[in-house]
Amino acid sequence: MHFLDQAKIFIRSGAGGPGAVSFRREKFMEYGGPDGGNGGKGGDIIFEAVAGLNTLIDFRYTQHFRAPRGSGGAGQNRTGAGGDDLIIKVPVGTQILADTEEREVLADLTTVGERRVFLRGGDGGRGNASYKTSTNRAPRQHGQGWPNEEAWVWLRLKLLADAGLVGLPNAGKSTFINAVTNAQAKVGAYAFTTLRPQLGVVRHKGLEFVVADIPGLIEGAAEGAGVGDRFLGHIERCRVLLHLVDANDADVAESYRIVRDELDAYGAGLIDKPAIVALNKIDTLDDELIAALSAELEEASGAPVIPLSGVSGVGVDWVLDKLLEAIGPEGAAVADDDEGEDAIEWSPI
């Protein structure tokens, strides 16, 4: 399945149906009179957040959504049928933005089943029966129905995850998420192996939480270098960040600084999020070098550094303990004992 986190669509609610002009004409009925019914209401445009979706790819091929209009009224005071509401299903974490330069956020769907009536259908027009008065016994006017509403909007998906992985390309983020979940992130000995976000569910000590892996950052990502910073939006909702630094880098302190500078340049509070720093790929080093690099990285970050190897498993439980501690009991869910150790409830993107 291809990953798409932005899409532009056109939406239009249904117009109201026209009211009817009708007069009662029945045999043996001495008095007739107007009996035209009102028109039906047009359908609403409703956005609904549903489970099981983690991409906006469907909106690349279907970009226009129109709700049906209401039916016209009829004689015998019959009201026209209302148009059916059009429900547009989107992944949890989808934002609806105005099609303007500012891209104002108009709605943010963050929970499963959340619905938002975005465009309301027009009300039906009045039938001539509703115009009858003591001085106007046979009105022939009627309402045409209220018009619909329409708009172009942007959909932007920000994945919902408890922890986010950040680091330079080839920092070992994909290897780590593959080790702690059964996500199938691509791993390769070249930069930018990961080109799209990955999700996985970690099961640890009877609890589970969601981890997001995004493509690596390089210096100048905020200005579009590499794959840019467009995927950083997927970790805006994370409670904690896991910053992985490759122990084989020439300068681990500089590697740490580059990523932190890009988080700061992006904004959205990423630089202020709790962060756990780990020196990754220590399986390739001896103990003395690990201690020296950890001390250097600790001095640069001002935080404790966890030696880690996603390949050998060294330090993995330590990191998961720290992530659980940062996420807190309100963020982690109780794991289902019937499932496998690394079962994934959210399919990898």
Q: Which domains does the chain have, with CATH numbers?
A: 6-157 (2.70.210.12), 163-334 (3.40.50.300)
Mean pLDDT of 269-280: 88
Binding region? 167-174, 192-196, 213-216, 280-283, 309-311
Mean pLDDT of 33-50: 95
Using alpha carbons only, give the angle 222, 235, 156 rounded to the nearest 5 degrees: 80
**C-alpha dist (Å) from residue 232 to 30, 173, 213, 274:** 76, 15, 10, 16
Does 143 or 225 have the greater pLDDT score? 143
Structure tokens at 5: 């986190």
Distance CA 87, CA 54 (A): 18
Do 252 and 178 form a contact (C-beta atoms < 8 A)?
A: no
User: Taking the model in full, what pTM does it have?
Assistant: 0.74
Q: What percent of the chain has pLDDT over 90?
A: 34
Does 275 or 231 have the greater pLDDT score? 275
Residue 343 — pLDDT band, cuts 50, 70, 90?
A: very low
For the chain, what is the mean pLDDT?
83
Most confident of 80-94, 231-245, 274-288, 332-346: 80-94
Q: What percent of the chain has pLDDT over 70?
A: 85
Q: What's the pLDDT score for residue 194?
A: 52
Q: What's the pLDDT score for residue 115?
A: 94
Q: What's the pLDDT score for residue 333?
A: 62
Q: Where are the alpha helices (DSSP H) in the chain?
A: 58-61, 173-180, 252-266, 287-301, 316-327
Least confident segment among 62-76, 205-219, 244-258, 332-346 = 332-346
Read off the pLDDT of residues 45-69 as tens digits, 9 standing for 90 and up.
999 999 878 788 889 889 999 999 9
Least confident segment among 47-51, 295-299, 335-339 = 335-339
Q: Which of 160, 161, 218 is nearest to 194 (CA)?
A: 218
Distance CA 109, CA 48 (A): 8
Q: What's the pLDDT score for residue 342?
A: 39
Mean pLDDT of 318-328: 87
Q: Which of 113, 110, 35 is nearest to 79 (CA)?
A: 35
Q: Would you say residue 137 has pLDDT above 60? A: yes
Q: Hey, what amino acid is at 78?
A: R
Residue 128 — pLDDT band, cuts 50, 70, 90?
A: very high
Distance CA 37, CA 135 (A): 20
Q: What's the pLDDT score for residue 228?
A: 54
Distance CA 245, CA 253 (A): 9
Q: What's the pLDDT score for residue 224?
A: 57
Binding region for GTP? 167-174, 192-196, 213-216, 280-283, 309-311
CB atoms within 10 A of CB 6: 15
Residue 349 — pLDDT band, cuts 50, 70, 90?
A: very low
Least confident segment among 103-117, 143-157, 314-328 = 314-328
Least confident segment among 88-92, 219-223, 242-246 = 219-223
| CB within 8 Å of 251: residues ≥ 6 apart | none
Q: Would you say residue 346 has pLDDT above 50? A: no
Q: At what angle do helices 287-301 and 252-266 cross, to 10 degrees?
A: 30
Do 14 and 121 form a contact (C-beta atoms < 8 A)?
A: yes
Least confident segment among 67-76, 283-292, 301-310, 336-345 = 336-345
Do 164 and 216 form a contact (C-beta atoms < 8 A)?
A: no
Q: Would you say residue 294 has pLDDT above 80? A: yes
Do 144 and 192 form a contact (C-beta atoms < 8 A)?
A: no
Residue 336 — pLDDT band, cuts 50, 70, 90?
A: low
Q: Using DSSP, state whether 71 is helix, strand or coil.
A: coil
Binding region for Mg(2+)? 174, 194
Most confident of 143-152, 166-175, 293-302: 143-152
Does 283 or 215 have the greater pLDDT score? 283
Least confident segment among 19-33, 64-78, 167-181, 228-242 = 228-242
